[in-house]
Amino acid sequence: MLNCRVCGGPVEEFLDFGQQPLANAFREVGQTDDEFFFRLAVGLCGSCTMVQLVEEVPRIRMFHDAYPYHSSGSSVMRKHFDATARHFLETELTGHDPFIVELGCNDGIMLKAVAEEGVRHLGVEPCGGVAELAKAAGVRVISEFFQDSTAAGIRAADGPADVIFAANTISHIPYMESILSGVDRLLKPDGIFVFEDPYLGDIVRRSAFDQIYDEHFYFFTARSVRAMAERHGFALVDVERLPVHGGEVRYTLARQGARHPTASVAELLAEEEELGLGRMETLRGFAANVRKNRDDLVALLTDLRAQGRTVIGYGAAAKSATVTNYCGIGPDLVAYVTDSTAAKQGRLTPGSHLPVRPPSAFSDPYPDYALLFAWNHAEEIMAKERAFHEAGGKWILWVPEVRIV
Q: What angle do CA 177, 183, 189 make, to 5 degrees?
A: 130
Nearest to 292 by CA among 29, 15, 3, 42: 15
Q: Is 52 exposed, middle or buried (0-12, 13-18, 19+ CB in 10 A)?
A: buried
Q: Omega of the bond prior to 355 within 30 degrees of 0, cis?
A: no
CA dihedral 170→176→178→183, nearest 10 degrees, is 50
Q: Is 341 in the site for ligand JHZ (CB under 6 A)?
A: yes
Report which residue type is found at 382: M
DSSP 263-283: HHHHHHHHHHHHHTTT-HHHH
- Only one of the segments 33-41, 200-208, 335-343, 360-368 lies at the binding site for ligand JHZ (rule: CB under 6 A); that segment is 335-343
Contact flag: residue 46 with Zn ion (CB under 5 A):
no
Neighbouring C-beta atoms of residue 304, cutoff 10 Å? 19
Binding partner at 229 among Zn ion, ligand JHZ, ligand SAH, none, C-beta below 5 to 8 Å by kind:
none
What's the rounded Cα separation, in Å, for the pair 123 and 106?
8
Cβ closer to ligand SAH: 48 or 103?
A: 103
First to last CA, the chain: 44
Q: Using CB under 5 A, which of 25, 40, 45, 100 touches Zn ion?
A: 45
Interface with ligand JHZ includes 265 (CB under 6 A)?
Answer: no
Tell me if 88 sits within 8 A of 151, measured CB to CB.
no
Candidate list 20, 52, 168, 211; residue touching ligand SAH; CB under 6 A: 168
Which residue of 20, 168, 252, 345 would you call a contact of ligand JHZ, by CB under 6 A?
A: 168
- The verdict on 100 binding ligand SAH (CB under 6 A) reads no
List 315, 355, 367, 393, residue binding ligand JHZ (CB under 6 A):
315
Site string for ligand SAH, 62-81 (x = CB under 6 A): -x---x-x-x----------
Asked if residue 208 lies in contact with residue 246, where contact means CB atoms within 8 angstroms, the answer is yes
Contact 104, 124 (CB under 8 A): yes
d(CA 41, CA 375): 23
Residue 357 in the binding site for ligand JHZ (CB under 6 A): no
Judge whether 11 and 283 are in contact, CB under 8 Å.
no
- Selection from ligand JHZ, Zn ion, ligand SAH, none that 125 binds (CB < 5 to 8 A by kind) is ligand SAH
Q: Among ligand SAH, ligand JHZ, Zn ion, none, what does residue 315 contact (CB within 5–8 Å per kind)?
A: ligand JHZ
Residue 381 CB, shortest distance to ligand JHZ, in Å, is 5
| Residue closer to Zn ion, measured from CB, 172 or 377 | 172
340 interacts with, out of ligand JHZ, ligand SAH, Zn ion, none, CB within 5 to 8 A per kind? ligand JHZ
Q: Does 170 bind ligand SAH (CB under 6 A)?
A: no
CA distance 239 to 334: 39
Per CB under 6 A, the list member of 114, 127, 301, 356 interacting with ligand SAH is: 127
Please give the residues from 302 up to 331 whose contact with ligand SAH meets the rule CB under 6 A: none
Comparison of 122 and 297: residue with beta carbon closer to ligand SAH: 122
Return the one option of ligand SAH, Zn ion, ligand JHZ, none that residue 339 interacts with (CB less than 5 to 8 A, by type): ligand JHZ
State the minimum distance, in angstroms, from the CB of residue 180 to Zn ion. 14
User: DSSP of 319-367, one letter per residue?
Assistant: HHHHHHHHHT--TTT---EE-S-TTTTTSB-TTT-PBEE-GGGGGTTPP
DSSP per-residue codes, 25-83: --B-TT--SS--EEEEEEEEETTT--EEESSPPPHHHHSSTT----GGG-HHHHHHHHH
User: Which residues are near ligand JHZ by CB under 6 A?
Assistant: 69, 73-74, 168, 215, 245, 315-319, 339-341, 344, 374, 376-377, 380-381, 384
User: Which residues are near ligand SAH by CB under 6 A?
Assistant: 59, 63, 67, 69, 71, 103-104, 106, 109, 124-127, 130, 145-146, 167-169, 172-173
User: Which residues are near Zn ion by CB under 5 A?
Assistant: 4, 6-7, 9, 45, 47-48, 50
